[in-house]
A and B are shown apart, each in its own frame.
Chain A
Amino acid sequence: MTRTATSYLQALPLAATFLLFFVLPIGLVAVVSFFDYQTYDILIPDFTFQNYQDVFSSAVTYNTYVITLRFCLVVWAITLCLGFTIAYFLAFHVRSTTWQIVLFLLCTIPFWTSNVIRMIAWIPLLGRNGLVNDGLLALGIVEERQEWLLYSEFAVILGYVHLYTLFMIVPIFNSMMRIDRRLLEAARDAGATGFQTLVNVVLPLCKPGIAIGSIFVVAIVMGDFITVNVLGGGQIASVGKAIATELSYLQFPPAAASAVVLVAITIVMIIGLMRIVDIRKEL
């Protein structure tokens, strides 16, 4: 057997899985977005722009996009600052490799546990009779129990930061560990202060890590509906949640049209970020 044939055979299971469960379904979403539907017949083959007209003519669409993009921007800024700080501490301030590994694992372990549980866990803390309210009252910071802590945009953002800062820490840490330590010495020898080294040496060399982390965070927040569901309560609707709601009423074609628009916008955002980085070189 030739070498190339072996490669094809080895890649076949992976390629077939992606073809069946990713490429074709995504293509189908695009096709279904032109379908018609009725209460008892949820997918009627057709070629209508009605679903798209509904998406673009609805004020709800614009509202959900404003909310979703706001989530995206705020969560991106917070996770970036926090993730960079944590990664910087791990990469440059923790001196022994063993401790570096232990503390890094400490940050990553929650990633392998249930996201739903980690969201639900905020409820007894942030609720009306929750621990945070108890604490604020006891300290005399507030006069009465605060309602905005849970089932609010604040709670959703907190949930995102809690769940997804990791996606920033890992790639930025990876970039930082590749920085030749002699560059930092050179900067110091040339008279740079710690802050100048950070801004002019470390930050530019971390760009690829920052870009990868940003792609993850942006993609997740754009499409999320579960965090919004659990921590946002019934009042807040992100784009993902709007799609999930349509699906719960078995309205596949309009959901598909919304999904196509969402994917198009997400792709534009990701392409912007991809210009900064070649992912394959970073592994």
Chain B
Amino acid sequence: MGARPRSFYVLAAVFGLFVLFLYGPVLTILILSFQGPGGGLTFPMRGVSLHWFRDLFGPQSIGDIWGAFDRSLYLGLMVMVLTVAFAFLAGLAFRRRFKGATLLFYIAVASLVMPSVVVSLGIGAGFELLGIERTWYTSALGAHLTWTLPFGLLIMFAVFNRFDPSYEEAARDLGASDYQTIRSVVIPIVAPSLIGVALFGFTLSYDELARTSQASGSLNTLPLELQALQTNASTPNIYALGTLTTALSFSVIAIALTVFLILQRRRARLGSDAGKGV
């Protein structure tokens, strides 16, 4: 390892500025959410207080934010569970050739890159024609899955491309059934990646807006509510709400990373008893 070339410092500076660009704006609304009671939507800060957070929890709170928050949370959890389950199963299926595999793969990719407004329009029109009411737990759930499942599937591809099938062969040679092989061999090995899929499933759903727009029916999810509030926001309580929901996203990311690391450690510790004379 020699001295670093000059280009390193230039690129490091670019990277630093990019990170500032990435986090700076959110940091400003985080600061502004602690605005004093007399403060406005922009700097300067007129004192520091929790006034606007209390305002959110107050009786005359803006819009239906807590209802929207609950809906987004439950929807995110449902999408997370379904994304992990469906993507994992499909990942297993794709390890063997089957007729239609390529078509299904291209449909998944198409679902990922299809403009969200078109997906939303199609689902909305479908429910409208069938005379079924659009709700967040039916049409919006489906709309979210069209967005999270492709990510889940692509992650499972990446995982199974690197998966050594000799573990399963060993399990089968020892007399494990198909179910036992998956339950005791495959799942523990891919568990950290499933945490990754879960993280994508929850956060992408919790923050989804474009595909939800025509699919959520009369009750808003939190991002829809936020977008609606933003257009006529007059007090910093919208920043307080932004700070809270960002804090929730960060907690979810932190939990996912922690569980991921714990599983990695556990695997390193328990993965092999070779040479231990067990």
Contacts and interface: CB of A to CB of B under 8 A. Distances in A.
Interface residues of A, number: 86
B113 A116 contact: no
Assign chain B's interface to a size class: 35 or more
B171 interface: no
B22 A162 contact: yes
Interface string A104-144: 01110110111111101111110101110010000000000
A270 B206 CA distance: 28
Contacts of B48: none
Given A28-B122, A117-B26, A219 B115 contact: yes
Interface SS, A side: helix
Interface in A6-24: 6-11, 13-15, 17-18, 20-24
Contact of B105 (A27, A89, A113, A280): A280
B214 A14 contact: no
A21 B149 CA distance: 12
Contacts, number: 263
A259 interface: yes
Interface in B124-155: 124-126, 128-129, 142-143, 145-146, 149, 153-154
Interface in B1-54: 1, 4-5, 7-8, 11-12, 14-15, 18-19, 21-26, 28-29, 32, 41-43
A93 interface: yes
Interface of B: 1, 4-5, 7-8, 11-12, 14-15, 18-19, 21-26, 28-29, 32, 41-43, 82, 85-87, 89-90, 92-94, 96, 98-101, 104-105, 107-111, 113-119, 121-126, 128-129, 142-143, 145-146, 149, 153-154, 157-158, 161, 178, 199-200, 203-204, 206-207, 209-210, 213-214, 223, 226-227, 230, 238-239, 242, 245-246, 249-250, 252-253, 257
9 contacts: A18-B149, A22-B107, A22-B119, A29-B122, A113-B246, A120-B238, A121-B26, A224-B210, A259-B121
